[in-house]
Amino acid sequence: MGRKVLVLNQDYSALSVCSVPKAFLLVYMNKAELLAESSTHVLRSVREVFPMPTVIRLHRYVHLPYRGVMMTRQNIFKRDGNRCQYCGTSDDLTLDHVLPKSRGGKTNWDNLATACKRCNSRKGDYTPEEANMPLRQRPFKPSFLMFLRDFSGVVDDGWLPYLGAKEAIY
Ligand SMILES: [Zn+2]
């Protein structure tokens, strides 16, 4: 998957991650500054050696309407460890509206849980309480740090000082 670079907004809040070549280009084009570099790797051209960025900060503030994890089926499965949140199996998975859609349940992070098709049809139009099918964990919206972990495999140690304390505790 390749190395990733943490991109901070102009106000130092974590914005996203990007590839090393993209980060290098942003710095080279003077759109971002290099905040931290790899202590073990460098970038080489034919004649020169450049530091390999690990954290960069954009010079201009970027307004993003939504920051965080895209709500997709795959990402919800990932959050739930690819297991049915009712019985724990990893076979034949689908998405379950915890509060059923027919009863006003929303399609969002907080109301969608991974479920196997069997549990999903057994639960039907009931809540977990009514169906006597307790959830293993309550659905939640993943934090930005969790997103980084899933996206890049690991969170670079060099990123930690730049991630908000609140998120780093996660
Ligand atoms: Zn199940």
For 121-162, write each residue's pLDDT tens digit: 999 999 999 999 999 999 998 877 676 766 556 667 788 777
- CA-closest candidate to residue 140, choices 165, 170, 163, 118: 170
CA of residue 132 to ligand 1 center, whole Å: 13
91 Cα–ligand 1 center, Å: 8
- H or E, element range at 118: helix 117-123
Query: How far is ligand 1, taken at its centre, from the CA of residue 94, in Å?
Result: 10
Digit-coded pLDDT (tens) for 90-106: 999 999 999 999 999 99
**62 Cα to the center of ligand 1, angstroms:** 42
> 70 alpha carbon to ligand 1 midpoint, in Å?
24
Q: Is the pTM of this model over 0.85?
A: no
Distance 26 CA to ligand 1 centre (A): 46
DSSP classification of residue 29: T
Residues contacting residue 52 through CB under 8 Å, at least 6 positions apart = 3, 20, 24, 37, 38, 41, 42, 43
How far out from the chain centre does Cα 21 lie? 21
pLDDT tens digits for 36-68?
Answer: 999 899 999 899 999 999 999 999 988 765 456
